[in-house]
Structure 1
């Protein structure tokens, strides 16, 4: 029986790359998307075209009823849940003095409440030997101006992740966060000029932006062989201090 992964934010960017990588690793995948059915369908088609198994389920990750329905769909279609990759997130950049508080509330709802809701279902329903993977950001350590609200929301993600790892003692379930550095996704590139992108790409000693495939490699490791890595934040950022 195939192992089963739920990937939120699975229709684009890091989430989609992670979904396709896990499918290549042999997981049956539930691609969870927020609004763009066409992109989700494209992700499923890409997986099934390579002989993998996948379905797409729409859900607001902050809605506990919708998220429970995602886990129901995984169990009904594939028999259970072994890995949960919570890649859905919202990022709005602004100095503290200028941030629209509606944007703060939106990030809080998706990034904090959404992570908590997904983690809650995962804690109840992931099978023994499973893995729960959340997403933080390397910006937490870099303290870049303009990122206060976003970084604050991801600080909450790290707290939830590390505490959940300890709460699941005796279940043989790992819980870790991936904290990407600058990664070439639509979310990251949106609104940035070439000079800004070039400056960010020059930061790591490897002197390039990360790619979604770089991050999916880490997700694959944590979802599969990394059984002794638990309660950690893995900063996948090319060596930015």
Structure 2
């Protein structure tokens, strides 16, 4: 690959309407990309529309797409519709995830199924469609969690659901390598977003903060530039999970 910027590139972001996904979408547009923004449900459409407006304000083409990514047919449709709207996808970013903090002995089968569907199954079929539909020399990036390197209670279905995606990423990196596609994952520390606070007590929030530099949680502004790097100059990194958490944990 010779061009290492996003100028003229086409970027698809699953969960791209708000929080980290929304910031990635805005940064991509500012860097010259057209952006397909996926959002999950009607409850998040307003924020997705704000992100779309920011993309268009940057002078780039954007489109809103929705769908249940635990359904493989809808993942396939997402890529197809995204390409139809903005052109063949060069960079596919999956920020989709669901957090649950609950002891194993209290977890229901329905909760287990939903967590594994959102965190593992959706990621698998996102990678599958990316391998089929992303342009040669493209980039595929998945957001995971630094809990993959931690040893704690309560997050069995969340960290457990995310952990297979490391293996999916490594396999996809090998399988897509002949087309020059890099496949990576980024594992943030606990992020300063509503997803985290909904699961934790103030005391545990304070503890998580104490484990990272500056006594703070990971900010979405800490992670979005790493995604931008992997989508451009960092293309030579592939098959890796990058732990970006201010020293919160490592392997």
TM-score tier after normalising by the smaller chain length: over 0.9
Give me the whole-angstrom Cα distance separating, in 2, the residues matched to 1:48 and 1:196: 40
CA distance in 2, matches of 1:231, 1:137: 16
Q: Deviations over 1:54-110 (max 9, x none)?
A: 111011112222222221222222220001100011111111111122111101111
Aligned residue among 103, 114, 117 for 1:95: 103
Cα displacement (A) at 1:21: 1.5
Higher mean alpha-carbon deviation, 109-118 vs 198-207, is at 198-207
Q: 1:177 aligns with which of 181, 185, 189?
A: 185
Q: Spell out the pairing of 1:38-117 with structure 2 (5 A cutoff).
A: 38-117=46-125
Cα drift, residue 206 of structure 1: 3.5
Matches within 5 A, 1:74-223: 74-223=82-231
Q: TM-score, normalised by structure 1?
A: 0.95
Measure, in 2, the Cα distance between the counterparts of 1:11 and 1:220.
17
**Following TM superposition, where does structure 1 have runs of at least 4 consecutive aligned residues deviating by more than 6 angstroms?**
none
8 Å CA contact 1:135–1:157 kept in 2: the answer is: no
Runs of 5+ unmatched residues, structure 1:
none
Deviation of 1:240 after TM superposition, in Å, equals: 1.9
RMSD across aligned positions (CA): 1.4
Give the structure-2-normalised TM-score. Answer: 0.92
Question: 2: CA distance between counterparts of 1:167 and 1:191?
Answer: 37
* Helix, strand or coil at the partner of 1:179: strand
Partner of 1:7: 13
**Once structures 1 and 2 are overlaid, which stretch shifts more, 204-213 or 229-238?**
204-213
Aligned residues of 2:19 and 2:220 also touching (Cα < 8 A): yes
Q: Is the 8 A contact 2:93 2:140 kept in 1?
A: yes
Shift in Å, 1:196: 2.1
Equivalent residues of 2:170, 2:239 under 8 A apart: yes
Structure 1 position 21 matched with structure 2 position 27: yes
Following the alignment from structure 1 to structure 2, what is the Cα–Cα distance between the partners of residues 76 and 164?
A: 24
